[in-house]
Amino acid sequence: MISEKQRPAGASASVTAQIKERALQLGFSKVGIARAEGLTEEHSRLQDWLARGLNGQMKWMERDPLQRSDPRRFFPPAQSVIVVALNYYTEPQHEIGRSEPLTGKISRYAWGDDYHEVVAGKLRELLSWIKAKWSETDGKVCVDIQPMMDKAWAARAGLGWIGKHTNLITQEFGSWVFIGELLLNLDLEADETVVADQCGSCTLCIDACPTAAIVEPYLLDANRCISHATIESRATEIRADVARHLEGWLYGCDICQDVCPWNQTPIATTDSRFEPREDNVNASLANILELTPESYAARFRRSAMKRAKLSGLQRNARALVNAAGADVSSGSGAIP
């Protein structure tokens, strides 16, 4: 009799169930499986979005968009896509008072440790476990930086739906989730249930965006987006039409998520690595402006905020200081 460890690459319902159970044991909040195939409709929408220049300065998205929509072009042996979601919501809130020293808000996803490392670490553990049980397995871990359409795959695997703000929304955790994938050469049973769009007639995210970056439901213009301006943009200064409406955001922006009805009764994450680091909810702009390359590297070690680079963070801080008309040279400026 062939042992389970020697089983050929084709996988049964039992194998699929075991892999899902193990993913949850490793701490993932949700797991689903999709067939590794081309995302035809999603590819068409991506092409249209790129053709309209709505990707802003994210020029890397223009490189081989066909690979981005078909995992087999990235990992040829792929037969299945395991998609995981990890809740990152923590209880602290941004300060909204106006008497505190001049600070800048940081997007919730970047408060703690770099999610790329956390999610990828768990996926590597899952892959190692699968390989130990089924020796012919080969796989590829994907977390954001690989050419995968993360939100589209999460929707395809039944984890949730893509909301009008273009973020994935889950019924259990709202949009406060990180997404990752594990491409496998195993033929697993795919989840056939698609979660229906439950945004309905709600337009709160569209109405709340201060820069009108959500130009229509399900369509984001990155050129106008505060998150793009404060994270992805490498411009020396933030474009004026965005800088006028930063609303205190130093790094990223959560406005469209904060107003979403699906995020009003959040469940706190069980992963302590996403708890805020010191000065990482509302950061002192004076401290940001005083950072040196050395102190920047030390402070943001293993943090997603490295994405903006020191020059970007200090550019953002200057924009907020200018908008507030405050003097932070002594660290005591306050928003008027």
User: Could you tell me the mean pLDDT of each successive run of 10 residues in the chain, 336 residues long?
Assistant: 42 88 98 96 95 95 89 96 98 65 92 97 98 95 94 98 98 98 97 95 98 98 98 96 96 98 96 95 96 97 96 97 71 40
List Cα–Cα distances, 302 to 107, 110, 271, 277, in angstroms: 16, 10, 16, 11
Residue 290 counted as domain residue: yes
pLDDT score at 98: 43
Cα torsion for 74, 78, 79, 82, to the nearest 10°? Answer: -80
pLDDT score at 66: 87
Verify whether residue 144 is a known catalytic residue. yes
Q: How many domains does the chain have?
A: 2
Q: Where are the alpha helices (DSSP H) in 232-308?
A: 240-243, 255-258, 285-289, 293-299
Residue 245 counted as domain residue: yes
pLDDT score at 11: 53
What gap in Å lies between CA 81 and CA 190, rounded to an integer?
A: 9
Same-domain status, 231 and 127: no
**Catalytic residue among 48, 64, 70, 144, which?**
144
What gap in Å lies between CA 71 and CA 35, rounded to an integer?
A: 10
Same-domain status, 156 and 262: no
Same-domain status, 162 and 210: no
pLDDT score at 205: 98
What gap in Å lies between CA 96 and CA 269, rounded to an integer?
A: 23
Cross-strand bridge partners of residue 203: none
Cα end-to-end distance, the chain, whole Å? 77
Same-domain status, 178 and 218: no
Same-domain status, 124 and 258: no
Same-domain status, 161 and 24: yes
Residue 194 counted as domain residue: no
Cβ proximity of 126 and 18 under 8 Å: no
Task: Tell me which residue of 231, 89, 88, 74 sits closest to 153, measured CA to CA.
Answer: 74
Which range marks the domain in which residue 243 is found? Answer: 204-266+276-324
Residue 119 counted as domain residue: yes
pLDDT score at 63: 87
Residue 332 counted as domain residue: no
Cross-strand bridge partners of residue 187: 10
